[in-house]
Structure 1
Amino acid sequence: MVNACLGRRRHKPKGDRTRRSWTEREEETLVVWLKEISVTGWKADNGFRAGYLTQLENAMKQQFPNTDIKGTPQINSKLTAWKKLYNSLVRMLDRSGVGFNIDYKIDCDDH
């Protein structure tokens, strides 16, 4: 009650913040299902329609019956991380003298 009198808000305890490690097979399956829902009408001009995370969650449960992957936070977090990596890569490749070599590694000039 003292905190309320001082004008401080009570904070709700945060959820479990343990990280989940994705296997390569899980990531590949997520990419496949993202492509699938894009083709079947879940993709709009400015993003995915509402409910796409539920579709992805159900697809992941179908592929991995014992999984604990949820639409929020796991799939949403994975998509956010991929977007950040993609944007970083685009910014690097926009610079002159930066590109990919034969081994699909980033190659740049000494300058």
Structure 2
Amino acid sequence: MSGFSQSSVSSQNSRGTKRKWIPKEDVVLGACMIDLHNVGTFNADMGFKVGYLNELEKMLEKFLPHAMLKAKPNLESRIGTFKRDWTIIYDMFRGKNNIGFGWDEHRQLIIAEDAV
């Protein structure tokens, strides 16, 4: 890998510098989080133990050496975005208001009743 596309370069906005993530980085971050969970060293009751961000940073450096992703603010911020975005989908299936939504295991897709 000689470098990343321009979409991964930081851009300036009114609140300072905000990093733009590319899909490959999201995929690698997700895979590393799954690996970290499966190893079990950083597992806690409802998430990860303190220090997991630094371990993720080390893991990502192996797969994305030119991305220069840091535990804080990069990983912390992106994981927060994941939580916010995917909470909506999680709630559709597991939450109190999931009436009319489901998962079709055979077709591997979300299903909804016509009224929804």
TM normalised by structure 1 equals 0.70
- Identity percentage over the alignment? 25
- Mark the runs of 5 or more structure 2 residues left unpaired by the alignment: 1-14
Deviation above 6 Å: which 4+ runs of structure 1?
A: none
Aligned length: 96
Call closer, same or farther: CA 1:47–1:100 in 2, change over 3 Å: closer
Cα offset for 1:103? 6.8
Q: Is the 8 A contact 1:56 1:71 kept in 2?
A: yes
- Mark the runs of 5 or more structure 1 residues left unpaired by the alignment: 1-15
CA RMSD of aligned residues (A): 2.2
- Kindly indicate whether structure 1 or structure 2 has the higher relative contact order, using CA contacts under 8 Å at least 6 residues apart: 2
Counterpart AA for 2:67: T
TM normalised by structure 2 equals 0.67
Distance 2:75 2:108 in 1: 30
Distance 1:49 1:103 in 2: 32
| 1:96 paired residue among 88, 94, 99 | 99
Cα offset for 1:59? 1.2
1:66 aligns with 2:56: no
